[in-house]
């Protein structure tokens, strides 16, 4: 089984590397954005699918990451402007972790719907702040984002968004996915699952449930921050639209569509959801109607998400061991 995974991984990597050479430029850009959302969704799922906490406000962290990058690039900073993507990522990780720690400490006292709604409250407050503090945030227009340097190299402007940055995003994606994989398969990952299954009993077998919920929350916040930070240079502009209840809802959809109880579920879900969304947006202004209908269709046909459905099929095919 293990060699099969490795072969699949190598084929996948090769495919991902040559793809930008064969598909239209625009799609390379779309693919890069999709990967940013995949990171966001993957992080969200350690909270949602793994720990059993449903947040309706996670785009807060997408925004924190994106605005951190834009803010550190502002011309007003003069010689202190930061263009190194690695430093910008680090800054986004720090800000999202700090905000995640603060907001999380308040939210994790609650579970279920209350947890979801408090998070929604926070993203709404943040959205309002982005609009109102326009001298810092640029208000509705937001802030411009310039081309960062990657590993100390400033790549040509013309092909940055449609070609070269894709590889950077892909590399970060692979790293954070690997890290998440390790977390899922660690004792800590099992503890989070135990908390999801039965928070009361988890406490009675010696797991400090509150602290672990907070840890999961902060991890998911950091992943949101990384997704937002990578997305900002791709978009060239950050605006309050990135942190709304809609973008918060999107990530829930991605997880449900892809399968929240499967490691790859959120990644598959992000690809499916985002690409479905832009395809539908292309040919009709009623895109949200169609998207809603297709979401309902998917949830009814694949209640465990695409990956949940696939993995039960695989198990039937390979026998219980798969």
Partner 1 sequence: MVIDKNEKILRTEGLKKYFGEVKAVDNVNLEVSEGEILSIIGPNGSGKTTLLNLISNMIEPDSGKVFFYGRDVTKWAPSKLAKMGLVRSFQIVNLFDGMTVMENLKAAVASNLGRIHRPFSSLNKDEEITKRSLEILELFKLSDKAETLAGDVPHGDRKVLDVALCFALNPKLILLDEPTSGVSTSEKKPVMQRIEEAVRKERVTAVIVEHDMDIVFGYSNRVVAMHEGKILAEGKPEDIKENEQVRKIVTGEL
Residues that bind partner 1 (CB under 8 A): 179, 182-183, 185-191, 193-194, 196-198, 200-209, 320
Residue 316 Cβ vs partner 1, minimum distance, rounded to whole Å: 16
Q: Which is nearer to partner 1, 154 or 198 (CB)?
A: 198
Q: Which is nearer to partner 1, 172 or 192 (CB)?
A: 192
DSSP 202-246: HHHTT--HHHHHHHHHHHHHHHHHHHHHHHHHHHSEE-GGGSSHH
Residue 39 Cβ vs partner 1, minimum distance, rounded to whole Å: 18
Residue 203 Cβ vs partner 1, minimum distance, rounded to whole Å: 5
Q: Which is nearer to partner 1, 131 or 183 (CB)?
A: 183
List of residues 6+ apart from 125 with CB closer than 8 A: none
Q: Is the dihedral of CA 135, 137, 140, 143 positive or negative?
A: positive
Q: Which is nearer to partner 1, 99 or 194 (CB)?
A: 194
Residue 1 Cβ vs partner 1, minimum distance, rounded to whole Å: 13
Using CA atoms in the order 248, 111, 216, 43, what is the torsion angle rounded to 10 degrees?
A: -20
List of residues 6+ apart from 222 with CB closer than 8 A: 43, 61, 93, 96, 97, 100
List of residues 6+ apart from 304 with CB closer than 8 A: 259, 261, 262, 312
Q: Which is nearer to partner 1, 136 or 183 (CB)?
A: 183
List of residues 6+ apart from 90 with CB closer than 8 A: none
Q: Distance between CA 266 and CA 254 in Å, rounded?
A: 6
Q: Which is nearer to partner 1, 81 or 182 (CB)?
A: 182
Q: Distance between CA 21 and CA 46 in Å, rounded?
A: 34
227, 43 Cβ separation under 8 angstroms: yes
304, 298 Cβ separation under 8 angstroms: no
Q: Which is nearer to partner 1, 116 or 199 (CB)?
A: 199
Q: Which is nearer to partner 1, 238 or 307 (CB)?
A: 307
Q: Distance between CA 12 and CA 233 in Å, rounded?
A: 25
Please give the biggest Cα pair distance in the chain: 63
Residue 280 Cβ vs partner 1, minimum distance, rounded to whole Å: 34
Residue 226 Cβ vs partner 1, minimum distance, rounded to whole Å: 17
Residue 198 Cβ vs partner 1, minimum distance, rounded to whole Å: 5
What phi and psi, each to the nearest 5 degrees, are found at residue 62?
-60, -45
Residue 109 Cβ vs partner 1, minimum distance, rounded to whole Å: 14
């Amino acid at each position: 089984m293990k060699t099969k995974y490795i072969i699949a991984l190598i084929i996948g990597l090769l495919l991902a590397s040559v793809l930008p050479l064969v598909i239209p430029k625009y799609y390379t850009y779309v693919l890069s954005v999709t990967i940013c959302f995949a990171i966001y969704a993957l992080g969200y799922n350690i909270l949602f699918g793994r720990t059993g906490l449903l947040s309706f406000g996670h785009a807060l962290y997408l925004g924190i990451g994106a605005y951190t990058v834009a803010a550190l690039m502002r011309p007003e900073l003069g010689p202190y402007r930061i263009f190194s993507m690695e430093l910008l990522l680090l800054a986004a990780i720090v800000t999202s972790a700090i905000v995640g720690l603060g907001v999380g400490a308040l939210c994790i006292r609650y579970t279920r719907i209350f947890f979801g709604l408090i998070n929604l409250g926070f993203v709404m407050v943040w959205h309002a702040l982005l609009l109102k503090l326009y001298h810092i945030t640029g208000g509705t227009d937001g802030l411009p984002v310039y081309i960062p340097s990657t590993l100390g190299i400033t790549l040509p402007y013309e092909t940055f968004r449609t070609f070269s940055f894709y590889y950077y995003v892909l590399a970060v994606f692979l790293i954070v996915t690997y890290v998440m994989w390790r977390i899922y398969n660690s004792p800590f990952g099992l503890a989070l699952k135990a908390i999801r299954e039965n928070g009361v009993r988890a406490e009675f077998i010696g797991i400090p449930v509150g602290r672990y919920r907070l840890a999961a929350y902060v991890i998911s916040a950091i992943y949101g921050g990384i997704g937002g930070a990578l997305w900002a240079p791709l978009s060239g502009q950050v605006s309050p639209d990135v942190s709304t209840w809609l973008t918060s809802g999107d990530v829930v959809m991605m997880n449900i569509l892809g399968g929240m109880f499967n490691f790859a579920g959120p990644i598959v879900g992000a690809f499916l959801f985002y690409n479905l969304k832009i395809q539908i947006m292309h040919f009709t202004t009623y895109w949200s109607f169609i998207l809603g209908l297709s979401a309902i269709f998917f949830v009814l046909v694949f209640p465990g998400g695409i990956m949940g459905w696939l993995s039960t099929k695989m198990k039937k095919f390979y026998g219980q061991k798969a």
